[in-house]
Structure formats: structure tokens, C-alpha cells
Amino acid sequence: ELSVTVPQIALAPDSDMKLLLVACLASLVAGALETETLERPAGNGEELASPPNIVFILTDDQDVTLGGLEPMVQLKKLVRDQGVFFDNAFVHTPICCPSRSSYLTGNYIHNHGAVNNSVEGNCASFHWQKDAELRTYVTHLKKSGYKTGYVGKYLNQYGLKPAGGPSHIPAGWDHW
């Protein structure tokens, strides 16, 4: 049994944990979406190999110029220093909910419709839940047989009454 595990990193008490897409894992997600089943033949043809586990870590507000990562000592130590640091990276939509919506769906803002951080701007709105949320990378992983889990911030308005309250569990997640 395989599972997608998203670890929760303990940060200093004064820090505000928000979820950084580790870009190097994007290729794993893309590869996993191309598989038709969870079982692939091993090299010798006798045993079946399993697809990889995927750990997808997302943080935001990590602007280098503004020093967004400086107060997040544990995040620097556990993620940046042991992973990949992109010193010349860009984001197409530098607004939290539209950017997260793009990472979740693989679509630009004009295709997923989340234009700002408000419910009226389609951030976790009922329209988002009935449309773009049904087409996230997680729904594709789920259809491919993966077990999925999520920990942390989802979208800015998630859990608020105008967005359906905390009882709404986005499509594709086994453990929320």
C-alpha cells in the first residue's frame, strides 16, 4: 500500500508556516500521472515494481529580496538546506490563492478562475469546488490508485462559512 505523505515541519513559535512547491518533485508528479496503473513491470518481468511515493511540500511568501525565509529557521534547515534552492525563480501570479490554484491544477489564472484571495474572487468558492478543484493533480493521482493525505494551509478562504465551512474536504484527498 502506497501513500502520499506530507510531513508537518515544526517551526519556531514566532514563525507563520505557509505551504513552497518543491519544483524538483513536479517531474515525479508528471511521471505518476502518465502511469495507467499502480503496478509496473520490473526489469526482470517476474516481479512488479511500485510507483514512487510522492512528497509534495509547498510554502509561500519566501521572497529573497524581502527575506521571507529568514524568520523560518527550521524550514531553512530542514527543507532549503537539504534540498534545492532556486536563486532565479519566478511565479506567474504572485498572489497566494491564485498561485496555489495554479500549482494544484497546472492551469494559469485565466483557466482556473481564482483571481484573488476572496471567495468572490473564486478562492475556495463553491464554483472552485465544483470546477477546478475536481481537476487537481491529486484527483489524477487518486484515479491512478494513490492514497493521498494533506496537512497544512489549503486555500485562503478554505474553512470559512462562505466557502462551505471546514466540513468540505476537497476532491481526491483520503486523509485531510
Residue 65, pLDDT score: 82
> In terms of Cα–Cα distance, which of 28, 16, 9, 8 is closest to 137?
28
Of the listed 24, 96, 97, 123, which one is catalytic? Answer: 96
pLDDT above 90 covers a percentage of the chain that reads 46
Residue 59, pLDDT score: 79
| Residue matched to cell numbers 511515493 | 53
DSSP state of 155: -
Q: All 3 cell numbers of residue 165?
A: 465551512
> In terms of Cα–Cα distance, which of 94, 4, 95 is closest to 55?
4
Cβ contacts of residue 166 below 8 Å, gap of 6+?
158, 159
Q: What is the mean pLDDT of the chain?
A: 77
pLDDT tens for 61-120 read: 777 788 888 898 998 898 888 887 777 777 888 899 999 999 999 999 999 999 999 999
In this structure, are residues 32 and 81 in contact, taking their beta carbons and an 8 Å threshold?
A: no
Residue 46, pLDDT score: 57
pLDDT: which is higher, 167 or 85: 167
Q: All 3 cell numbers of residue 88?
A: 532565479
Give the mean pLDDT of 165-170. 94
Confidence of residue 40 (pLDDT cuts 50, 70, 90): low
Question: In whole angstroms, what is the distance from residue 86 CA to residue 98 CA?
Answer: 21
Residue 96 bears catalytic tag: yes
In this structure, are residues 168 and 130 in contact, taking their beta carbons and an 8 Å threshold?
A: no
Residue 149: beta bridge partners? 175
Question: In whole angstroms, what is the distance from residue 164 CA to residue 38 CA?
Answer: 33
Residue 157, pLDDT score: 94
pLDDT: which is higher, 112 or 36: 112
Give the distance, in angstroms, between the CA of residue 128 and the centroid of all CA atoms in the same chain: 16
Q: What is the pTM of this model?
A: 0.68
**What backbone torsions phi and psi does residue 49 show, to the nearest 5 degrees?**
-90, 145
Question: In whole angstroms, what is the distance from residue 121 CA to residue 119 CA?
Answer: 5
Give the mean pLDDT of 125-135. 96
